[in-house]
Structure 1
Amino acid sequence: MTRNITACAEFYRSALGFMVDGPMLGLGEQQIWLQAGTGADYPAARASNDPWFQHLAIVVNDIAAAFDHATRHGATAISTDGPQRLPASSGGVTAWKFRDPEGHPLELLQFPPDATPPCWQGRDGLFLGIDHTAIVVAGTQASETFYRTLGFERAAQSHNRGPAQAALDGLAAPHVLVTALRIPGQAVPHLELLDYLTPNAPAGTWTTSDIAATRIVMSGTQPLSRDPDGHCIEGVSLAVP
């Protein structure tokens, strides 16, 4: 959801390399759609473990250059001290979390040269595409059970903690259980569940029209619904008339 579709699209174009076609934005083979929100603005009090937190992770070829470019075009940092290299136990990626001008969280992601997934190898350009969307959940089991009913399966799981994770999240001593879910046969984009064991996610509610109400859009016929934590899922028909 966005308060201003034109201004929001311009940020994603200029700062992150998206192609713009009205409310539809494309990067590589992935797309997002902008919808006008009529509810509350993104909350002023915000953190990486907020229950409404949902970000897009954008794969880049050169995270130092992408960080500099996004910052010069209006991105505001969530992470402290710039991009962070996570330990091998957390995937060994280099990442940086930030927000767009309306408050929506995003992430830049660069894989190590010797551990780049096949789907991201050999691609030119600075900004390559969307690897996943990540959502904060109150409990992994309940959320994983829900998403399995939509066809997802577990792809990986890790416990992320330590100084690099703290700097990435902008939180003191976080311990987050990260569970990657995917649709069978589809490497990207996938879904990550972020279960903050410490610090625990604060309580919070939001409506489906609030600016914070990012939606996961799937092929299918299911109506707009909400997962156990309130994140929105919307089914769309991809059939050609």
Structure 2
Amino acid sequence: MPSETDVQAQRIRAIGLTVTNYNRSLEFYTQALAFELVSDITVEGLDYSDLEGVTGAKIRIVTLRLGDELIELMEYLNAQGKPIPSYSQSHDLWFQHLAIVVSDMDRAYAHLRSFPIEPISYAPQTIPPENEASGGVRAFKFKDPDGHDLELIWFPPDKGKDKWHQNSHRLFLGIDHSAIAISNTEQSLHFYCNLLGMQIDSRSLNWRATQSRLDNLPGAEVKITALRPVEDGMGIELLDYIVPGKGRPMPSDWKSCDIAHIQIELVVNNLEQLVDKLRRNGVQFLSSRIVQFSDRSFPYRQGCLVKDPDGHSILLIAE
């Protein structure tokens, strides 16, 4: 049996987003961002209710693929979730975006503008060259039809993973990471690295006018820590805003059926041992238990939903 120090997050399987209407979201993600449909299932019963912490849950789950990465659009068919607050800003602690890699920022931006998006950034921004970790990277942030935050990102030849630089006829390539606003870097590193076994990939400080225009936050200054699981793939970025400081906390009464809910699905190598470790460290659980799935149409065998120190949802799974 692995020791506690061997218990690790292996990879991010998918990112799940609660949506208001799966048809509208499916149309947006497939037409505006070139995702492809993988599966469309509806689940209900005690197991799914216990997993997500929503009584009597009946959920339509539409899985989409972009490159090697997956997202899941989750519509609760018998629960009315609260909308994402219209006043949300990039430093609020419920902020979370998906970074979608493109091969040509100008073409991708022009294509995206033909759809009814809500921009966050004023236009695509280029990180200044004096930023050693991110110089030359171009990015544009916007919202999907439900208000979920998204980012287009383009990497210059000396930045990003090798797979983002392979010759491809595709404009939209995949998902590099999910970025989350946090209140304290060291607190989050304890959770993601010490408890879950993720690894620090890079650190940077983004600021000045470029970051302000990217985030639509005057004077924005943000400390960024990029994390990767053991098997690489999609990562997590921790966004610790120095200016204007940490934003509003995630409301304690938000549930998985609320539209702001996003869950990062982490494949772990020993779920039972990890859950025991997290309980001993006072981590908050949304699932009432480790849920076992016998339905072979479901993509994993076991799952347990927990919250990170700022309330972001992490679905720990065993395949």
Moved more, 217-226 or 2-11: 217-226
Classify 1:235/1:116 alpha carbon distance in 2 versus 1 (closer, same or farther; 3 Å): closer
Deviation of 1:74 (Å): 2.2
Deviation of 1:50 (Å): 1.3
Q: How does 1:83-122 map to 2 (within 5 A)?
A: 83-88=124-129, 89=131, 91-92=134-135, 93-122=137-166
Q: Normalization by structure 2: what TM-score?
A: 0.71
Residue 195 (1) aligns with residue 240 (2):
yes
1:60 to 87, 97, 102: 102
Aligned AA (2:163): C
Other structure's SS at 2:187 match? helix
Separation in structure 2 between the aligned mates of residue 111 and residue 227 of structure 1, nearest angstrom: 29
Deviation of 1:34 (Å): 1.1
Q: Which has the greater radius of gyration?
A: 2
1:45 to 70, 80, 87: 87
2:210 to 164, 167, 171: 164
Classify 1:36/1:219 alpha carbon distance in 2 versus 1 (closer, same or farther; 3 Å): same
Moved more, 120-129 or 30-39: 30-39
> Contact 2:92–2:181 at 8 Å: present in 1 too?
yes
> Contact 2:250–2:310 at 8 Å: present in 1 too?
no
Residue 218 (1) aligns with residue 263 (2):
no
* Percent sequence identity over aligned pairs: 40
Other structure's SS at 1:35 match? strand
Superposed CA deviations along residues 128-179 of structure 1, whole A, max 9, x for unmatched, are: 0000000000000101110111120111111110111100000100110000
Task: Kindly report structure 1 stretches of 4+ aligned residues shifted beyond 3 Å.
Answer: none
Question: How many residues are paired up?
Answer: 236
Q: Normalization by structure 1: what TM-score?
A: 0.93
Q: How does 1:14-53 map to 2 (within 5 A)?
A: 14-21=31-38, 22=40, 23-37=62-76, 38-53=80-95
Gap regions ≥5 residues in structure 1: none
Aligned AA (2:65): G
> Contact 1:132–1:192 at 8 Å: present in 2 too?
yes
Separation in structure 1 between the aligned mates of residue 211 and residue 146 of structure 2, nearest angstrom: 24
Gap regions ≥5 residues in structure 2: 1-17, 41-61, 272-302
Moved more, 62-71 or 223-232: 62-71
> Contact 1:15–1:75 at 8 Å: present in 2 too?
no
RMSD value, Cα: 1.4
Other structure's SS at 2:113 match? helix
Moved more, 119-128 or 135-144: 119-128
Deviation of 1:116 (Å): 4.4
Deviation of 1:40 (Å): 0.6
